[in-house]
């Protein structure tokens, strides 16, 4: 963690793909060379489903838990607190429980890979069970941080009936063990809480990544370990494709890394277009979720894109303000007149100056130069990161990612260390 991964020089040729592009990835798949595709998914794959995040001040799930008098929001996923007061967790569970949300087109794309015999394995950080609802075979899924798919007594470890669990959750009641002998222990879904072990299957099947001939990474910050380390297990010659709002982890540092930055579903649709699968993908997705839900998800995607554009526009205005201020100070120092920028002189959408402030003299070159080489791009990236990934090492993310770092003492350890 914390290691800096420099992006590959654009002059470095790929070793496996014909080019670092989405069309080259499609060409690679269609050629039959990609037969063992490993997919890694995180919060971003479920964004369009409408699952609320944890930290929005007014609408986040943590904000809605404030009335329950938690010592801190993260306590809802703390096993020690759960043993004392399980009610807050079950308030949360009622909101997140399977059946309340529908799979996205990204989920269905992974199902399509499975149906075509190309999916080697899916590793997900999400607890929402949307992979299962999308129709991805259960034996192809590793839910690294657990899920609502099963539940058991925290004392005797006896499994609890799923239908009964659903009834308890729908009523907002806390279930207890019904095992003969009077255990009466609290029942909890098999979601990994702070300090709990990750599923043994996660460690047993990591070799699947080593066997992969293509790795697709969708909607994850790659900051929560040990899950984040999976992507680095693939052989260097194996193409890795990132569908995410921003570059993360080591993605982009190898010769055959392809970065598809932006909305996750939009990126997946681009790949489906190149593969010639778009019509089949959309038909399966709409058939699964229904026309009304499909349109709701599409409208939500448009709003997210518009919000991102608004954010970039605001940042451009702030940069322009800085440019004005810098020019004004320079002129004041020189005792000369202060120029102001007309609308034609404003930076364009790519951060380049359209006109020069003072065409008559080289001394004003500080404003002439393109803004493209300033930190405006970095600023946009940082802003997006702040919006979409809040301290993932310290708590579950918007889709219920586990908090935890690998236990000091080895990657093979099943225990996770609480970061509370």
Give pLDDT tens digits for 367-393. Answer: 333 333 333 333 333 333 333 333 334
- As annotated, the active-site residues are 145
Predicted TM-score (pTM) above 0.75? no
Confidence of residue 70 (pLDDT cuts 50, 70, 90): confident
CATH 3.40.50.1220, the chain: domain bounds: 22-290
Domain 22-290 part of CATH 3.50.50.60: no
User: In 10 A of CB 394, how many CB atoms?
Assistant: 13
Residues of 347-374 as b/e, b for ≥16 C-beta within 10 angstroms?
beeebebeeebeeeeeebeebeeebeee
Mean pLDDT of the chain: 78
The pLDDT of residue 379 is 31
**What percentage of the chain reaches a pLDDT higher than 70?**
67
Confidence of residue 355 (pLDDT cuts 50, 70, 90): very low
**Residue 402 confidence (pLDDT) above 60:** no
- Of the two residues 319 and 204, the one the predictor is more confident about is 204
CA distance 48 to 40: 17
């Amino acid at each position: 963690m914390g290691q800096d991964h420099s992006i590959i020089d654009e002059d470095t040729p790929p070793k496996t793909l014909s080019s670092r592009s989405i069309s080259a990835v499609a060409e690679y798949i269609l050629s039959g060379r990609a037969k063992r595709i490993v997919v890694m998914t995180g919060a971003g794959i479920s964004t369009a489903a409408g699952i609320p995040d944890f930290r929005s001040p007014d609408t986040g799930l943590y904000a809605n838990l404030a009335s329950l008098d938690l010592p801190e929001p993260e306590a809802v996923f703390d096993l020690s607190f759960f043993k004392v007061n399980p009610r807050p967790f079950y308030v949360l569970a009622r909101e997140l429980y399977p059946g309340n949300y529908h799979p996205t087109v990204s989920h269905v794309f992974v199902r399509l890979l499975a149906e075509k015999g190309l999916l080697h394995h899916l590793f997900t950080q999400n607890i929402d069970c949307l992979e299962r609802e999308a129709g991805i075979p259960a034996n192809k899924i590793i839910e690294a941080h657990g899920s609502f798919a099963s539940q058991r007594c925290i004392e005797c470890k006896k499994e609890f009936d799923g239908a009964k669990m659903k009834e308890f959750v729908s009523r907002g009641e806390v279930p207890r063990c019904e095992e003969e002998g009077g255990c009466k222990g609290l029942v909890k879904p098999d979601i990994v809480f702070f300090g709990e072990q990750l599923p043994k299957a996660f460690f047993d099947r990591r070799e699947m990544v080593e066997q992969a001939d293509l790795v697709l990474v969708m909607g994850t910050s790659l900051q929560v370990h040990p899950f984040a380390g999976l992507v680095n297990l693939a052989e260097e010659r194996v193409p890795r494709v990132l569908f995410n709002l921003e570059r993360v982890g080591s993605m982009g540092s190898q010769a055959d890394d392809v970065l598809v930055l932006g909305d996750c579903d939009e990126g997946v649709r681009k790949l489906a277009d190149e593969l010639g699968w778009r019509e089949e993908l959309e038909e399966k997705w709409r058939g699964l979720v229904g026309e009304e839900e499909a349109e709701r998800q599409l409208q939500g995607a448009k709003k997210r894109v518009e919000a991102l554009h608004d954010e970039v526009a605001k940042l451009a205005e702030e940069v322009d303000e800085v440019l004005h201020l810098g020019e004004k100070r320079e002129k004041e120092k020189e005792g000369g007149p202060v120029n102001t920028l007309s609308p034609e002189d404003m930076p364009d959408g790519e951060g380049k100056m359209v006109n020069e402030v003072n065409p008559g003299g080289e001394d004003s070159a500080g404003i002439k130069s393109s803004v493209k080489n300033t930190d405006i791009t970095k600023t946009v990236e940082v802003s997006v990161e702040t919006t979409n990934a809040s301290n993932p090492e310290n708590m579950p993310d918007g889709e219920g990612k586990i908090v935890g770092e690998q236990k000091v003492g080895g990657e093979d350890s099943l225990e996770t260390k609480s970061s509370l």
